[in-house]
Amino acid sequence: MPSNQKKSDEQQAAFTMMPYRDGFVQTYKRAIKPAVEGCGLRSLIAKDDWKSGPIEGRIREQIDVASVCIADLTGNNSNVMYEVAVAHSCKKPVILITQEEPENVPFDVRNHRVIKYTATSEGRVDLLERLIVSIRATLGLSELPLRLLRKMLVPASLALRDGPYVVAASPLSFRAATGSRGGWKGPPSTLSDHVGIRGLMQSFGLLYGLNRLPELLNPDDFKDTVLDSTMHLYCIASSKSNRWTGKMMKRFFAARHPKWEFKPDPESTNLSNPWVLIRKNGKPCELDKKKKVIRRYGQPCEPELGAPPESDKSRIVVRRTKWDFGLVIRGPNPSDSRCLFMALAGRSSLGTVAASMAATVPEFIQVLDRELLQQGTDLDDHRTAFCAVVSIAASEKGYVYGVDRDSFEVNDLWVYPPDLREKSVE
């Protein structure tokens, strides 16, 4: 961890060096200061310090307090260049910005990365976002929770940011899900599809307040023609309980490869409550050509309850109440690419919980965001579709007692760029 991150909250600040003319002041107010404060730092400029004494001494004090400095090199202002030199002598990281071509900056800082911006409303918005990325990368800061939720659920690329937003879910009852009477014997807790419903509603409430919560629809109450509507759609659970998940995935993967789908397991003996398989390009993704378990998804195999020890099922089915995986699918809505489509689904309740938490728990979103960045993909752009395989284990006491958050993992990731929808990344 960088030493700057270990400083006290009082020392976490950014000092801005710039010419004090109208255009630069507007850039500071509309881009630099919001970016700094958006990263949880205090924003300092020399003009805010009205202490008596030599200006050079006050500038050095603020540079010494700062964890990072930002310098606008436009026009090669001599005062700014002096302050940059002081910051370098104090071993402070400096983020350089300019309105000019980077090769026009002085030769002694030309080997540093320079962010070029334009002094327009759009240019300052772009500068703000790029500064946030640079500040966090420089200081090794974690992404702020609300920003992570926004990037995941309401990315900046959405054209229709006012919605409508729709959560589609049809949670099965205990009897429907298990094919038996009774109910859970553990403590009252949120399980299965309800984890996704609660997570999405809570996330939108944190982002926009209670007046902008998504519509919550049960697909069983609507005709499938509703799917042709213009909306941001979030489907929870596999097609076993939510038929819209299956229909939207069929549309979504029509021109993409690999293709994913949920299908009943043909070897299930309980026809009223069959096991669900996740298929990739028509093949169950937990089996290889020799029908052995692909252990890339983490856990050793255990017999499913009721499976004879000598059967294939005892070798190839993971005990899904202890550990399971699900899919996080996100990209343009096939009915209207200006909108977002997301599916959070697993082959079991626990798999759906893994997918739901991957999209609504900031610390899990950050893991996924990091994987996407390694693929050169921006989570804040819904036009680049992706499918992530994520997994989680149940609590040691059992599934009804919750999950082991430390076991969460992004196991695989496929990216479908908007300009080459057939490309896959493993």
Instruction: State what percent of residues in the chain have pLDDT above 70.
Output: 81
- Residue 113 included in any domain: yes
Indicate the range of 36-40, 73-77, 78-82, 174-178 predicted with least confidence: 174-178
For residues 287 and 176, membership in a common domain is answered with yes
Amino acid at 217: L
At position 372, the amino acid (one-letter code) is: L
Higher pLDDT, 206 or 72: 72
Pairwise pLDDT comparison (65 vs 139), residue with the higher score: 65
Residue 131 CA to residue 319 CA, distance in Å, equals 46
Q: Between the CA atoms of 245, 246, 250 and 252, what dihedral angle is there, to the nearest 10 degrees?
A: 10
Q: At residue 109, does pLDDT exceed 80? A: no
Of 141, 171, 186, the last residue of a domain is: 141
> pLDDT at position 167, please?
98
Residue 287's pLDDT is what?
37
Q: Is 56 within the bounds of a domain?
A: yes
> Do 183 and 304 sit in the same domain of this protein?
yes
Higher-confidence residue of 270 and 245: namely 245
Please state which of the ranges 235-249, 316-330, 334-348 shows the lowest mean pLDDT.
316-330
What confidence tier does 255 reach under pLDDT thresholds 50, 70, 90?
Answer: very high
pLDDT at 317: 43
Model confidence band, residue 247 (pLDDT cutoffs 50, 70, 90): very high
Residue 14 domain-assigned (yes or no): yes
Tens digit of pLDDT for each residue in 256-271?
999 999 998 887 777 7
Say how far apart CA 393 and CA 406 lie, in whole Å. Answer: 9
Summarize the confidence of residues 199-220 as an average pLDDT: 90
pLDDT of residue 6: 40
Q: Positive or negative, the Cα torsion across 106, 109, 111, 113? A: negative
Do 137 and 214 have their domain in common?
no
What average pLDDT score do residues 385-410 get? 88
Specify whether the CB–CB gap between 16 and 45 falls below 8 A. Answer: yes
Give the position of tokens 């029509």.
Answer: 254
Please tell me the pTM assigned to this model.
0.63
Q: How many domains does the chain have?
A: 2
Q: What confidence tens digit (pLDDT) does each residue in 328-387 have?
A: 999 999 999 999 999 999 988 999 999 999 999 999 998 999 899 888 888 999 999 999
Give mean pLDDT, residues 116-141: 87
Question: For residue 35, is pLDDT > 90?
Answer: no
Last residue of a domain, one of 90, 117, 141: 141
Q: Which residues pair with 394 in a beta bridge?
A: 403
Average pLDDT of every residue of the chain: 82
Q: How confident is the model at residue 164 (pLDDT cuts 50, 70, 90)?
A: very high
Residue 421 lies in a domain: no
Kindly state whether residues 172 and 28 are assigned to the same domain. no
**Alpha carbon distances (Å) from 162 to 122, 196, 212:** 20, 22, 9
Among 141, 156, 179, which residue terminates a domain? 141
- Token pair listed for 212: 């902008």
Q: Among 183-187, 328-332, 363-367, 412-416, name the most confident range.
A: 328-332
Judge whether 127 lies within some domain.
Answer: yes
When comparing pLDDT for 165 and 143, which is higher? 165
Residue 35 and residue 90 in one domain: yes
173-193 b/e with 16+ CB inside 10 Å = b? eeeebeeeeeeeeeeeeebbb
pLDDT score at 306 = 44
The conformation of residue 213, written as its DSSP 8-state character, comes to P
Domain co-membership, 95 together with 179: no
274 and 383 housed in the same domain: yes
Q: Which residues contact 274 (CB under 8 A, 6 or more apart)?
A: 240, 264, 265, 268
Burial annotation 258-272 (CB, 10 A radius, 16+ → b, else e): bbbbbbeeeeeeeee
* Average pLDDT, integer, range 384-400: 88
Is there a contact between 288 and 315 (Cβ–Cβ < 8 Å)?
no
- Residue 273, pLDDT > 80, answer no
| Residue scoring higher pLDDT (310 or 196) | 196
**CA–CA distance, 67 with 121 (Å, rounded to integer):** 28
DSSP run (H or E) holding 165? strand 165-168
For 143-147, 247-251, 310-314, 319-323, which range has the lowest pLDDT when averaged over its residues? 310-314
Residue 323 inside a domain? The answer is: yes
Do the Cβ atoms of 278 and 262 come closer than 8 Å? yes
Q: Do the strands 385-395 and 260-264 form a parallel or antiparallel pair, or are they unpaired? A: unpaired
Residues 6+ apart with CB under 8 A from 153: 200, 203, 204, 207, 234, 342, 359, 360
SS3 271: coil
- What is the three-class DSSP state of 119? coil
List the CATH number of the domain containing 15: 3.40.50.10140
Range of the domain at 235: 147-416
Residue 83 lies in a domain: yes
**Are residues 164 and 77 part of one domain?**
no
Angle subtended by helix axes 349-360 and 362-374, to nearest 10: 80
User: How far apart (Å, rounded) are the C-alpha atoms in residues 208 and 211?
Assistant: 7
* Rounded to 5°, angle at Cα 16 from 10 and 17: 140
CA atoms within 13 A on the CB side of 104: 13
| pLDDT (mean) for 269-279 | 79
User: Do 208 and 114 belong to one domain?
Assistant: no
Tell me: do 285 and 234 sit in the same domain: yes
Verify that 388 and 344 share a domain, yes or no: yes
Most confident listed range (229-233, 310-314, 346-350): 229-233
The per-residue pLDDT for 102 is 73
Note whether 373 and 296 are same-domain residues: yes
Best CA proximity match to 91, nearest among 64, 73, 55, 62:
64
* 425 inside domain: no
